[in-house]
Structure 1
Amino acid sequence: MDLSKLPPELIQHMSDLMASGKLQLPPPIFTEMEGEFIDINLVEKTLTVRFPVQKRYQNPMGYMQGGMIATAIDNAIGPLSFMVAAPNVTKTMEVNYLRPVSANIENITVVATFEGQHERELTFVADVLRDDGAKLAQAKSINVLLKRK
């Protein structure tokens, strides 16, 4: 993904947050999971991120642990949330697991979308996809804008 296509005001906003020490980009867990930004569409308010399916994230049945799938989702919604709104945090996140992420799947792709805002609450949805486009999980997250001091 070509980050030079990001709007200058977004780059400045993120730089200001990083300089203040209030924001680590990328977050350590994103780096740990070897996430890769694939696409950003600021008009549609979507962010697409790919993660390799790693053996160390398997549950006892050989599938990707549900918590790691949720972490991948959070690692897509989180950056998108800072692109579309002031600093915010996750209030709730509901994940529906539709198919197992088996060991033979190389990557999962998370497509996160900003759906809207009501007062201080932001709504996001995300789909977790296999490389062939099959939907493995879907999520809905409610984030809350932080109060300014």
Structure 2
Amino acid sequence: MDTESDNVIKGHEQIVAHVIAAFDDLPVPPGIRLQLPPPSTTTLALQYEKFVPGRSISATVEIPPQYGNVMGLLQGGFIAAMFDDLMAPLSYLTAKNPTTSMDLTTHFLRPVFVGERVTLTATVQKAGRTAIYLAAEAHNEKNKLVATAVSTLQVVGLPQT
């Protein structure tokens, strides 16, 4: 019997290995050399925690000092980038095609301090042939909601060779 728990992949290395294997079957634009995880994920220090194919992906990050503003709080652009970077693999794997962000709306609900650990989760709201709609949340160590995001991603059709 195939249940959701059978499909859950946990742990950064296991999720990266799954994504690498999945990308073998996905179209890659000509001239592109895949780097998995991508440089943006490495730069943002996201550590994948849980992936449910076609449904959700979660990651954690400890906020480093270089992401802080003058008050020692996480600068909002970094969490927006984290949301975008988390939504990208979920959309690509769900569409089984490249995707590109059409919009990303982020709402900041409470401050996050440098040194705090944040958990981000992106979920598929609706997957269509030409667009995928995702929502995401970020929670602090006390499981308090610190930010939310919604995004529409366009499914990019590649010419068949």
Identity of aligned residues (%): 23
Instruction: Tell me the matched-pair count.
Output: 146
**2:114 paired with 1:103:** yes
User: Using a 3 Å threshold, how does the CA distance of structure 1 residues 18 and 36 change in structure 2: closer, same or farther?
Assistant: farther
| Counterpart-to-counterpart distance in 1, 2:50 and 2:74 | 24
User: Using a 3 Å threshold, how does the CA distance of structure 1 residues 94 and 114 change in structure 2: closer, same or farther?
Assistant: same
Structure 2 runs not aligned, ≥5 long: 1-10
Q: TM-score, normalised by structure 2?
A: 0.79
SS of the equivalent of 2:88 reads: helix
Match of 1:51 in 2: 61
| Counterpart-to-counterpart distance in 1, 2:20 and 2:119 | 27
Q: TM-score, normalised by structure 1?
A: 0.85
**2:42 paired with 1:13:** no
Matches within 5 A, 1:1-149: 1=11, 2-3=14-15, 6=18, 10=22, 12-13=24-25, 17=28, 21=32, 23-42=34-53, 45-85=55-95, 86-105=97-116, 107-149=117-159
Could you list the runs of 4 or more consecutive aligned residues of structure 1 that deviate by over 3 angstroms after TM superposition? 3-9, 16-20
Deviation of 1:40 after TM superposition, in Å, equals: 0.5
The answer to whether the Cα contact below 8 Å between 2:65 and 2:115 also exists between their aligned partners in 1 is no
SS of the equivalent of 1:79 reads: helix
**Which segment is superposed worse, 131-140 or 117-126?**
117-126
Structure 1 runs not aligned, ≥5 long: none
Deviation of 1:109 after TM superposition, in Å, equals: 1.0
Match of 2:6 in 1: none
Deviation of 1:17 after TM superposition, in Å, equals: 3.4
